[in-house]
Amino acid sequence: MTAGPISSIAVNNIRVEFIERGSGKPLLFLHPGIGIEPTSLVLDRLAARARVLAPHHPGFGRSEQPKSFDTVDDLAYFYLDLLEQLDLCEVIVVGVSFGGWIAAEIAIKCAARISHLVLANAVGIKVGDRETRDIVDIHAIPESEFVQLAYVDPEVGTHDYKTMPDAQVLAAARNREATARYAWSPYMHDPKLRNRLHRIHVPTLVLWGAGDRILSERYGRAYCAAIPAARFELIERAGHFPHLEQPEMFAHRIFAFVEGTSQ
């Protein structure tokens, strides 16, 4: 297992850090609001069969926060620019939770450089009625409750900030703030997105940690139903972050889907 180098790249004068690992078909991994650690097993599992690029979104980790960025739209255009700048083609775009929302917003705008889309426990759409909150208000519960709801095994998401390196604690604090910046209100969704998902024509896998109590399976199935060529799959023994709880299975399902749907 190799912890690959962390690089940085400036796109439109916005500098972000990213992890690059493996070779072959490009795979853009869009992390959830909690960020992504270079030591995450899932990156190696994905890098075993693809060239993984896992940027820290603008405002997250140690990536720059542009003053003008405050919507997921801004992030989607940023990544379209990044794909163009690196001249990446036939890209597998994988997004988890908040990253899944970004992935969907990218795909409705322009999928010319995308071969496959994977939305894992993605937020971003409104499903229930106006008095039903689809997504648990993570800002209204203590972190201890969040990990209970988000993980099948809460140990996976439990951190001891007292022993964590300073840079990592700062990154966690930045991630929390950036998530709120982009997704405070409307809460974790774009009211327009669901009606625009019909524009996605690339093969799409909606991958769902079955034990997620932040989002319901019903929500995932509604997401899937709004995308013409989408397939829904559950991952057992995983919650809101299947890439952390079942990294092997997560990667396996993605590549099986890509092989099964490639021309």
Q: Give the one residue of 25, 174, 194, 243 binding another protein; rule: CB under 8 A.
A: 174
Kindly state whether residue 62 participates in binding another protein, applying the rule CB under 8 A: no
Nearer to another protein, 159 or 201 (CB): 159
Amino acid at 137: D
Q: Is residue 49 within 8 Å of 24, Cβ to Cβ?
A: yes
Residue of 62, 181, 196, 221 that binds another protein (CB under 8 A): 181
Tell whether residue 64 is a contact of another protein (CB under 8 A): no
> Minimum distance between the CB of residue 1 and another protein, rounded to whole angstroms?
28
Q: Is 141 in the site for another protein (CB under 8 A)?
A: yes
CA dist 128 and 158 (Å) reads 30
Q: Running DSSP on this structure, what letter comes out for residue 39?
A: T
# chain residues binding another protein, by CB under 8 A: 20
Q: How many Cβ atoms sit within 10 Å of the Cβ of residue 167? A: 10
SS3 call for 6: strand
What CA–CA distance (Å, rounded) separates 40 from 137? 26
CB 190 within 8 A of CB 72: yes
Contact status: 236 vs another protein (CB under 8 A): no
**Minimum separation from the CB atom of position 14 to another protein (A):** 17
Q: Which residue has tokens 């092989």?
A: 259
Which residues of the shown chain bind another protein in the complex (CB under 8 A)?
70, 139-142, 161-162, 166, 169-170, 172-174, 176-177, 179-181, 184-185
